[in-house]
Structure 1
Amino acid sequence: MERAEHHLLPKTFATLLVTESADRVAVRLNRPQVRNAIDAAMVAELNTVCAMLEAEPKVLILSGTPADEAAGTKGVFASGADIAELKERCREDALAGINSGLFERIARLPLPVIAALDGYALGGGAELAYAADFRIGTRALRMGQPEAGLGIMAAAGATWRLKELVGEPVAKEMLLAGRILTGEGCLRAGLITELVESAGLMAAAHALADRICVQDPLALQATKRVFHLPRDAHPEADNKEQAELFESPAKFERMQAFLDRRKTK
């Protein structure tokens, strides 16, 4: 599918490369000199992107620095939080939930989020990926939580999102024993849904976005809203969302189109 892309807010971002088309926004983490370590500037810029997507919902694709075979460099998603900056943070910073607040905001974006993962996705980089709705990885992917070895814990979602994604045994190995999963290991654990070569990573992410974007946007938003609600919120929440969708113009248009296609077969 052809996508007319243009830079969003040109020259505004220092740590991100952001391009936008009619139905999606692609955000590339862009601090390659420090393996895309997540610092305060990147957090602020990702919050700016979130604000835009909350106001104008679109699918979000998150990626890191791509591999460059010609230059002999490997890809990297994000090696974690910026350790030099993290070393100076104190109790008040932890209570402010700087990274956890951002990742929760990403998880709650109205339309799906896709994480395209190559190379290192460690610490906060892994936790950023857990906040996505979909994760696609490469054979070069290395995913894990090394925080305990640095005297801290993975406090930006890993202690609960990771358990939900891969189950308690694997999550504890990663959190408490420093296990690093390869791309193949991530696929076996269910942490990613697709394993591709590095050269095909973004094509696979956009292909998934294509499949998402042919769905009705309001139906996608309603489904995502109720998906992570606690069990006792169902079925009431589902019924209320469905009641709204039953009255939407898209419902009538899409169902009529379906019936019209069936008549022609």
Structure 2
Amino acid sequence: MDHQSRHDEHRRAGALTLSIDGGIGTITVDRPEVRNALDSDVLAQLADALEELRWDDSVRTIIFTGAGDKAFVAGADIRELARRVPEDGLRAAMQRLYDAVESVEKPTIAAVNGYAFGGGLELALACDIRVASTAARFALPETGLGIIPAAGGTQRLARLIGAGRATEMILTGRRLDADQALQAGLVTGVVAPEALLDEARSVAEQIMARGPLAVQLATTIIRHGLDADAATGMLLERLAQSVLYSTGERAEGTSAFQEKRRPDYTTHHVVQPARPAPQGREDRGGDQT
């Protein structure tokens, strides 16, 4: 299928709702009866949905959210978690899925509309930007179950809000409300519940008004620069800027500024690697942490 010619759509995909509208792909975990908890099937469906939006050229940004007004994602399905064996911890499919969210070539936004506990908070942490409703609550309660937040929680939370605050949340299971999350830097904005998706879409639209390759490279450098020393991060900046100086995107942006008009980036696209061959279910998220 030619993704560039595909119309906007809205459809059910297992336990998810998937929509594409105006260049924004939205993945909604749609299990409000269990507070959008994640089991093996939902993880596999999330992996499939992410891959679909990743390779769809009509999609410029991706939003993750949860159905209903109670939960974003309340964490893993405890019934499945109770059956896990040591080998499941090493497979770490949830961790691999969230790594894929973090590394996807398109900006990602978590619209947190309620409980974001455990794997739900870890999903939000894997996104580039997080916005919350006033009803949002955040926690990593895993140590109370005799395990740890092993889908990136120990690493991404500490990088985002600092080791001290992250350690307290993980060791005590402390919950943050939306205002506390904003003060800690966990989210970038808090709005009324009924305005949350509009706010997330507004952020996405602001991103899409910028140069797509510039956005992609800036996002990549921010992500990888956090794991590098300052000199390496500066080198990445220089290399990216050199690439951008050679593009029509830079020419369009500077011309539009001088001509006092909005730039038209509709013919410019992010750089995608070669699409890999389809993988088996287990590799796509069939087992949890």
Question: Is 1:19 equivalent to 2:19 in the alignment?
Answer: yes
Alignment partner, residue 201 of structure 2? 206
The one-letter code of the counterpart of 2:21 is: S
- What is the Cα deviation at residue 59 of structure 1? 0.5
Cα deviation digits, residues 223-254 of structure 1 (max 9, x gap):
11111221242322222222221111111122
Distance in 2 between the 1:116 and 1:234 partners? 29
- Unaligned regions of 5+ residues in structure 1, if any? 68-74
Q: Secondary structure at the match of 1:66?
A: coil
The normalised TM-score by structure 1 is 0.89
Alignment partner, residue 238 of structure 1? 237
Give the number of the structure with larger relative contact order, counting CA–CA contacts within 8 Å between residues 6 or more apart: 2
Question: Is 1:65 equivalent to 2:61 in the alignment?
Answer: no
- Distance 1:198-1:22 versus aligned 2 partners, 3 A rule: closer
- What is the Cα deviation at residue 210 of structure 1? 1.0
- What is the Cα deviation at residue 40 of structure 1? 1.1
- Distance 1:22-1:203 versus aligned 2 partners, 3 A rule: closer
RMSD: 1.5
Q: How does 1:47-196 map to 2 (within 5 A)?
A: 47-56=47-56, 58-67=60-69, 75-196=70-191
Deviates more, 1:142-151 or 1:20-29: 20-29
Distance in 2 between the 1:236 and 1:53 partners? 30
Distance in 2 between the 1:146 and 1:90 partners? 20
Q: Is the 8 A contact 1:53 1:109 kept in 2?
A: no
Question: Is 1:41 equivalent to 2:36 in the alignment?
Answer: no
Distance in 2 between the 1:23 and 1:82 partners? 32
Cα deviation digits, residues 102-153 of structure 1 (max 9, x gap):
1111011112111111211100001101111111112211110110111111
The one-letter code of the counterpart of 1:34 is: V
Size of the aligned set, in residue pairs, is 249
Distance in 2 between the 1:183 and 1:257 partners? 39
The one-letter code of the counterpart of 2:242 is: A
The normalised TM-score by structure 2 is 0.82
Q: Is the 8 A contact 2:114 2:136 kept in 1?
A: yes
Identical counterparts, % of pairs: 34
Distance in 2 between the 1:58 and 1:44 partners? 23
Q: Which runs of 4+ in 1 moved over 6 A?
A: none
Distance in 1 between the 2:50 and 2:28 partners? 14
